[in-house]
Amino acid sequence: MESLWRHTSENTDFKRLDRDISTDVLIIGGGMAGVLCAFFLQRAGVPYALVEAETLSGGITKNTTAKITSQHGLLYSKLIRRLGAEQAEKYLTASENALQEYRALCRDIPCDFEEKDSYVYSLDNREIIEEELDALRKLGGRAEFAEDLPLPFAVAGAVRFPSQAQFHPLKFIAGISKNLRIYEHTPVRELIGTTAMTDYGRITAKKIIVATHFPFLNKHGGYFIKLYQHRSYVIALENAPNLGGMYVDAASGGLSFRNYRDLLLIGGKGHRTGKKGGDWTGLRDFAETHYPGAAEKYHWATQDCMTLDGIPYIGHYSANTPNLFVAAGFNKWGMTSSMTAAGILSDLIQEKENPYADLFSPSRSVLHPQLFVNGFEAIVNLLTPTLPRCPHMGCALKWNPYEHTWDCPCHGSRFTRDGKLIDNPATGDLKE
C-alpha cells in the first residue's frame, strides 16, 4: 500500500550524518515543511542543516492529495466570528502568498504543477455556503458561488476559488532539495538544550526547528493535549472522468476529488486515528456505483494533525523556549501551510517581524471545546488496562484490522503488527 506519488517518483539520496557538526539552525524533519524551511534559510544566507530519520517526504508528505489552495474548507466565516475580520484576512493573505510562492518556484521545477479551480461543496446546506461567500466578500477574497458541478450527485451549492493549484509533491521536493544541506537516515535520539544527539554524531545548533508532523517533545508546549490525529483514505481510479478541478465536501466524513493525469483521486471516509471509522470500502462502493467502468490502480491512507481551533501552530515551540521553533497542526491543508510555516519561521529565526506570526503563534489560547475531547480520550485510554501500550505517553493501542497496525487513539502514533514504528509522535518501536 503505497501512494501514487511514491510509485511515480524516485527516492532521494542524501548521506547519513557521520560526524559532529555545528550550525546556526537545525531543522528536524524532512517533510514538505522542513524542506521548505531549509530552502528559505538557504535563500536568506542562514547556515542550517536538516536531518531526517528516514528519507525525505517518507512520512506524511508522500500521502497527501497535494492540493495547494487558500480555500481550507469553510474556514473564513468561522475565523471572522471567532477572531474578527482582521485576523481572518491575515490567514487568507498568508495562504494566498503561499500559493503565489509555489507558483513561482514550480516554474523551474518539473512537478506537474497545474492551476485548477477549487470548490468546497455542501450536499444539503446552501446557507453555510452563502455564509462563507459573505465572509469572503468582506475579506476581499476571489470567491464565487457555484451549483452545477461535474460530480455524480447534486449539491446545494459550492464556494469556488479560482486559480488554485495542484502538483506532484515528491517531484517538487526532489527538485527543490537538490542543493540543500540534508542528512537522511539520521534520527535525533535526544535534545540537550540546542544540541541534538544522533547515532553517528552530535549537532550543535543555536536554534532548532521541529518539523516532525507531530511535535515529539512533551516537555514544552503541551502539544500532546493541543493536537490529535485524523486518518483518511484515498483511491486512484483509471477510466474515470476528468472533473476539471478540486472538490471537497464541507461536511466531516465527506468526499474529496481531484485528477492527476489520467487518474481520478477520491478521498475521505476519515476518523480519529485509533477510533472506529471508515476505510477504503466506502470509497470503493462509491466508485462502483458512480464510476462502474473505472478500475482502482492505487490506494493509500494518510493522517493529519488537527489543532484546537483550525489554525496551525507555527512559531516558538513555547513561550519559554526562545531558540526552539515548531511547525505542526496543518488541519488537512499541509501543502499551503508548509509554505506559510517556512516564511514565518525564516523570519523569526532572523529576528525579523512577520505580519502573520501572532495569528499562528503556538502560545495562543487553548480554551476550545476540542481541548476537553482530547483530554477525555487521553484519560480513557490511559486507564484502559490492555496491551500493547504506546511508548509516547502510555496510552492503550487499538488494533486496526484494515491496515493491520496498532494505532494510538490519544496522539496518533502507529506501529506495525510486529511493533515497528510507522508514525510519530512516538520515537521508538514497541517494547516486547
| Domain harbouring 325, CATH code | 3.50.50.60
Taking only Cα atoms into account, the Rg of the chain, rounded to an integer number of angstroms, comes to: 21
Q: 323 with 219, same domain?
A: yes
The C-alpha cell of 319 is what? Answer: 513561550
Q: For 60-86, how does the pLDDT look when each residue is reduced to its tens digit (9 = 90+)? A: 999 999 999 999 999 999 999 999 999
Which residue in the block uniquely carries the three cell numbers 487521553? 378
pLDDT attached to residue 40 = 98
Please tell me the distance from the alpha carbon of residue 403 to that of residue 416, in angstroms, as a whole number.
9
Q: For 37-56, how does the pLDDT look when each residue is reduced to its tens digit (9 = 90+)? A: 999 999 999 999 999 999 99
Q: Is residue 269 part of a domain?
A: no
Q: Is residue 50 part of a domain?
A: yes
AA identity, residue 301: A
Q: 374 with 354, same domain?
A: no
Please tell me the distance from the alpha carbon of residue 211 to that of residue 312, in angstroms, as a whole number.
12
| Whether residue 146 has pLDDT greater than 90 | yes
Please tell me the distance from the alpha carbon of residue 382 to that of residue 401, in angstroms, as a whole number.
22
Q: 316 with 217, same domain?
A: yes
Among 424, 362, 431, 430, smallest CA distance to 188 is for 424
Number of independent structural domains in the chain? 2
Q: Is residue 408 part of a domain?
A: yes
* Mean confidence (pLDDT) of the chain: 95
Q: What is the DSSP letter of 187?
A: -
| Whether residue 309 has pLDDT greater than 90 | yes
Q: Is residue 127 part of a domain?
A: no
AA identity, residue 343: G
pLDDT attached to residue 193 = 92
Which residue in the block uniquely carries the three cell numbers 461543496? 121
pLDDT attached to residue 2 = 86
- 432 pLDDT band (50/70/90 cuts)? low
Q: 323 with 417, same domain?
A: no
H helix or E strand, kind and range, residue 81? helix 75-83
CATH for 416: 2.102.10.10
Q: Is residue 89 part of a domain?
A: no
- 372 pLDDT band (50/70/90 cuts)? confident
Q: 12 with 58, same domain?
A: yes
Q: Is residue 356 part of a domain?
A: yes
Q: Is residue 105 part of a domain?
A: no
Contacting residues for 160 by C-beta, under 8 A, at least 6 apart:
117, 118, 119, 143, 144, 145, 146
Q: For 331-367, how does the pLDDT look when each residue is reduced to its tens digit (9 = 90+)? A: 999 999 999 999 999 999 999 999 999 999 999 988 8
pTM (predicted TM-score): 0.95
- pLDDT: which is higher, 28 or 219: 28
Query: Which ranges constitute the DSSP H helices of 270-368?
Result: 280-290, 334-349, 357-360
Q: Is residue 143 part of a domain?
A: no
Calculate mean pLDDT across residues 186-190. Answer: 94
pLDDT attached to residue 11 = 86
Residue 59's domain spans which residues? Answer: 4-64+171-226+309-360
3-state secondary structure of 42: helix
Phi, psi for 318 (deg, rounded to 5) = -155, 170
Q: 341 with 382, same domain?
A: no
Q: 336 with 388, same domain?
A: no
| Whether residue 278 has pLDDT greater than 90 | no
Q: 355 with 377, same domain?
A: no
Q: 374 with 411, same domain?
A: yes
| Whether residue 283 has pLDDT greater than 80 | yes
Please tell me the distance from the alpha carbon of residue 402 to that of residue 112, in angstroms, as a whole number.
32
Letter string b/e over residues 358-397, b meaning 16 or more CB atoms within 10 A of that residue's CB:
ebbebebeeeeebbeebeebbeebeeeeeeebbbbbebbb
